[in-house]
Structure 1
Amino acid sequence: MNDMSWKKLALPLTLLLGGCATQGGRTSLADTMARTRIVDISHPLTEKMPVYPGGTLMSAKLKGTVEKDGYYIRDFTVGEHTGTHVDAPAHFAAGAKTVDQLPVESLAGPAAVVDVSEKAAQNADYEVTVEDIEAWERHNGPLKPQHIVLIRTGWASRWPDEARYGNADASGVLHFPGVSMAASQLLNTRQVRGIGIDTLSTDPGPSKTFEQHRHFLSGGGYHIENLADLSALPADGAYVVVQPVAVQGGSGSPARVLAFIPQ
């Protein structure tokens, strides 16, 4: 990442830190907010949304209403891997960190948005390649350990249509884009904090072995799956904050994911 890119990151970074030092003194939080756009790149949890086969749909039960009880309240049940969610290393690596054990500093970082939407439009089973990652680096500089890599396939446009999003064929095999093992190995070598994608899984739809999951999670990184539309994010220069619920011992958790984009 070049010096200008890091300067662009200063605004969303200082937004989180409450202001920054400048030549003339301090930039107020209000001034920083005024120059920063915040985009929600996660889907809301609903009772009707696509889930990976075998996953748990959200269900909600009304417990009280304002009219009857003076307050509105519900109980809800949801799977650890329902909706926009984080896969902790423990999801596929025995003895690895659970979602509540992820270091908080790893849940925020500069976003590297790798756009393969045109390729995915031509091939539903497209797998992000080493060349895709290296092309991003040629334009934006080398990936750093602080980066969170977000894969834009364009699949979010199919949400919440379960049939189109899962894209199963007549045999029940899913077809959606994912990350190749070679690209996963490169990202592991770069020691990036996490990989996010706007599909049901970082492994391509037809995968039955989840090799990419096993590889990347065993290296200590995490996944973010079912991201919402990433088209508002620049390839470089946004800052992402990932907010999973700290479920003790959790293999993962639904998450709110926010992107801070300097204007």
Structure 2
Amino acid sequence: MKLHWIISLWMLTSLGCMGRATLPSSRLLPEGARLVDLTYAFDENTPYWPTSPSGFELKQLSHGMTPGGYFYASNTLCAPEHGGTHLDAPIHFAEGKMTAEQLPLERLIAPGVVIDISADAAKDPDALLQPAHVESFEKEHGRIEPGTIVLVRTGWGSRWPGKKQYLGDDTPGDASKLHFPGISREAAEALVERQAAAVGIDTASVDHGPSKDFIAHQVLMKADIPAFENVAALEQLPPRGALILALPMKIRGGSGGPLRIVAVLPPG
């Protein structure tokens, strides 16, 4: 991956920090580069796991003019760690591994690749990323280097946020009838071998809906590899060349948390 445009981005951003903070964002990127938001907004329609005790709740504390004559707005929010576009920290499925605040930035900001299995997922809602997909990607686009964020595109984002369409079932309290694509044990092992920085997917879980043992989670997280779930807009990314910035809420001791993830696409 060519890094000259990333260096240019750093230099331009540094200039902004040194007294030119009023520059528009378009001037903080190399000419022709662009940003892609890979994050769903959190609201009352955000799908959560069927057994989750609650969803995302935003409650208004203040909204209006104050006695002092100025406008003021403030809310409280409450949500489980795992829902919407979010992080799975390794501790989520691996005892003693990293919690949310312990993740080094090198696992959260890194070059990204997108492996597309949407054709398989269109035929089978329980489709799995297999080692053959990884090998086919590398044959066409080159080896996945250590420290790469690997994103798996299944096409499931077109179903968001309809809970039944996205999860395969919307029975409250019952997670036994879910259907959506994921990552096989063997593919997870292949990504561990390639020393992926992190692994993301555009479904509710790196394991497919019918999973009972969440083996992809286990394999990745025993290797201290975090996961990003419910990633949006992967159809807008090229197979290779994007810089991924995935910054979760830094929750001390957290097993995950809400994630703001964006991609910087190089010129051309």
Q: Deviations over 1:205-234 (max 9, x none)?
A: 000111110111110100000011211100
TM-score by length of 2: 0.88
Distance 2:7 2:158 in 1: 29
Matched, 1:179 2:183: yes
* Regions of 4+ moved over 4 Å: 169-172
Matched, 1:15 2:14: no
Equivalent residue, structure 1, for 2:197: 193
Equivalent residue, structure 1, for 2:77: 76
Q: Given that residues 88 and 222 in structure 1 are in contact (C-alpha distance below 8 angstroms), is that contact kept between their aligned partners in structure 2? A: yes
Equivalent residue, structure 2, for 1:24: none
Equivalent residue, structure 1, for 2:47: 50
Q: 1:16 to 1:206 in 2, by over 3 A?
A: farther
Equivalent residue, structure 2, for 1:91: 92
Distance 1:13 1:79 in 2: 37
Distance 1:13 1:133 in 2: 29
Q: Given that residues 56 and 77 in structure 2 are in contact (C-alpha distance below 8 angstroms), is that contact kept between their aligned partners in structure 1? A: yes
Distance 1:219 1:117 in 2: 27
Report percent identity of matched pairs: 37
2:255 to 251, 255, 258: 251
Q: Deviations over 1:94-147 (max 9, x none)?
A: 111101000012111111100111110000000001010011111111111121
Q: How do 1:52-131 residues align onto structure 2 when only pairs under 5 Å count?
A: 52-55=49-52, 56-67=54-65, 70-131=71-132
Equivalent residue, structure 2, for 1:230: 234
Equivalent residue, structure 1, for 2:166: 165
SS at match of 2:236: coil
Q: Given that residues 164 and 170 in structure 2 are in contact (C-alpha distance below 8 angstroms), is that contact kept between their aligned partners in structure 1? A: no
Q: Given that residues 163 and 170 in structure 2 are in contact (C-alpha distance below 8 angstroms), is that contact kept between their aligned partners in structure 1? A: no
Q: Given that residues 205 and 229 in structure 2 are in contact (C-alpha distance below 8 angstroms), is that contact kept between their aligned partners in structure 1? A: yes
- Number of residues paired by the alignment? 250
Equivalent residue, structure 2, for 1:212: 216
TM-score by length of 1: 0.89
1:12 Cα deviation from its structure 2 partner:
3.6
Q: Given that residues 41 and 227 in structure 1 are in contact (C-alpha distance below 8 angstroms), is that contact kept between their aligned partners in structure 2? A: yes
1:60 Cα deviation from its structure 2 partner:
1.3
SS at match of 2:212: coil
Amino acid in structure 2 at the alignment position of 1:261 = L
1:169 Cα deviation from its structure 2 partner:
8.8
Q: Deviations over 1:177-207 (max 9, x none)?
A: 0000000000000010111000000001000
Q: Given that residues 81 and 258 in structure 2 are in contact (C-alpha distance below 8 angstroms), is that contact kept between their aligned partners in structure 1? A: yes
Q: 1:169 to 1:121 in 2, by over 3 A?
A: farther
Q: Deviations over 1:50-104 (max 9, x none)?
A: 1112234111111001235630110010111121001001001111110100001
Segments of structure 1 that go 5 or more residues without pairing to the other structure are 1-5, 21-27
Amino acid in structure 1 at the alignment position of 2:132 = E
Matched, 1:40 2:37: yes
Distance 1:51 1:45 in 2: 11
* Root-mean-square deviation over aligned CA pairs: 2.1
Distance 1:150 1:17 in 2: 27
Amino acid in structure 2 at the alignment position of 1:185 = E
Amino acid in structure 1 at the alignment position of 2:205 = S
Distance 1:88 1:30 in 2: 34
